[in-house]
């Protein structure tokens, strides 16, 4: 039983990395509903691979390049590491829901491989925002903190996708989204645990469990800070990530489900991009000098 579970978990890990990133994993695994359900536990791991690559690149470039060229490189690298998968969902979703047509017509538009005007506009605005946020983080001058933030952001945007998959029905009776029919809140909860472990590891790797929070939570706020203490502050510093992901992701997921009667593979990608942008905004606010 334990061996079978371990095998399923490893297959899920491989599927998560193969599906959500462009990192080469030359291992064949079944792309079925069981493996897909297991893979959601490792969505944060795939996010960490992307984030650590982007964050590490940011840390290196901060020493060698001006802020703006460095931000362009990081934004482009971030997008390429996903193969544009989520950006494609963002554009398709914008084309569909901003057409203001019937539900059926919006779903048809989203399925069309051609990109419309609203999709292009949405993509340009999103890339500009990400570029500006990354540039702002680098300009603050705390390159290690900026790198840690960039490493953590994709972890939690991908965790949010597991919540959306579990929380709303599928808008279509066919499509890639059907692969995740067996995903429930137990998978999203397990994925959150994975995300917390990965985030703690990133903080330790960066050498700063005191990464500031949007509300100024800081593990170095002395152990005498009320009854919370240093350990409590670290927990608050960790838990701010899923809380912020929910804050940004929930309104969009609810609105999309209301418009489309559920979620699709495209809307999962759109939500990932939206939550990434929101977390970057929160990080800029948190790290900016008062």
- Spans of all domains in the chain: 42-169+179-287
pLDDT tens for residues 214-224? Answer: 434 343 333 33
**How confident is the model at residue 235, as a pLDDT?**
64
Residue 79 has pLDDT above 50, yes or no: yes
- Taking only the tens place, the pLDDT of each residue in 231-246 is 445 666 788 999 999 9
Query: Would the pLDDT of 282 be above 90?
Result: yes
Tokens of 288: 């900016």
> What pLDDT is attached to residue 55?
94
pLDDT number for residue 229: 45
pLDDT for 178 beyond 80: no
Following CA atoms 66, 201, 159, 68 in sequence, which dihedral angle do they give, to the nearest 10 degrees? 0
The residue-averaged pLDDT of 14-27 equals 95
Number of H helices, E strands in the chain: 11, 0
pLDDT, position 218 = 43
Mean pLDDT for 20-38 is: 93
Tell me what percent of the residues of the chain surpass a pLDDT of 90. 71
Residue-level pLDDT at 221: 33
Per-residue pLDDT for 208 more than 80? no
- The average confidence (pLDDT) of the chain is 88
Rounded Cα distance, 86 and 238, in Å = 25
pLDDT at 290 over 80: no
Q: Which neighbouring-strand residues pair with 156?
A: none
pTM: 0.91
In the structure encoding, which two tokens stand for residue 154, read together? Answer: 């994709």
- Beta carbons within 10 angstroms of residue 33's beta carbon: 14
Q: DSSP for 198-259?
A: HHHHHHHHHT-TT---TT---TTS-TTSTTTHHHHHHHHHHHHHHHHHHHHHHHHHHHHHHH
- C-alpha angle 178-180-185 in degrees, rounded to nearest 5: 135
């Amino acid at each position: 039983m334990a061996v079978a579970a371990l095998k399923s978990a490893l297959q899920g890990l491989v599927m998560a990395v193969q599906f959500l990133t462009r990192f080469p994993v030359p291992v064949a695994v079944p792309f079925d509903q069981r493996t897909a359900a297991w893979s959601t536990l490792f969505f944060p791991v795939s996010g960490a691979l992307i984030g650590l690559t982007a964050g590490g690149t940011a840390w290196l470039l901060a020493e060698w390049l001006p802020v703006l060229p460095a931000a362009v490189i990081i934004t482009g690298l971030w997008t390429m590491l996903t193969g544009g998968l989520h950006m494609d969902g963002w554009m398709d979703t914008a084309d569909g829901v901003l057409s203001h047509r019937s539900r059926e017509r919006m779903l048809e538009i989203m399925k069309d491989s051609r990109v419309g005007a609203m999709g292009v506009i949405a993509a340009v605005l999103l890339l500009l925002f990400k570029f500006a946020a990354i540039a702002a983080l680098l300009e603050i001058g705390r390159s290690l903190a900026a790198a840690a933030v960039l490493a953590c952001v994709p972890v939690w945007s991908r965790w949010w996708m597991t919540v959306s998959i579990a929380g709303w029905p599928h808008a279509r009776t066919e499509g890639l989204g059907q692969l995740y029919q067996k995903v429930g809140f137990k998978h999203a909860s397990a994925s959150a645990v994975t995300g917390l472990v990965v985030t703690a590891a990133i903080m330790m790797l960066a050498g700063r469990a005191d990464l500031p929070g949007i509300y100024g939570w800081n593990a170095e706020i002395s152990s005498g800070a009320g009854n919370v203490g240093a350990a409590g502050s670290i927990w608050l510093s960790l838990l701010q990530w899923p809380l912020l992901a929910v804050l940004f992701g929930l309104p969009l997921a609810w609105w999309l489900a209301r418009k489309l009667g559920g979620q699709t593979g495209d809307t999962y990608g759109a939500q990932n991009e939206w939550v990434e942008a929101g977390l970057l905004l929160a990080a800029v606010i948190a790290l900016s000098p008062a």
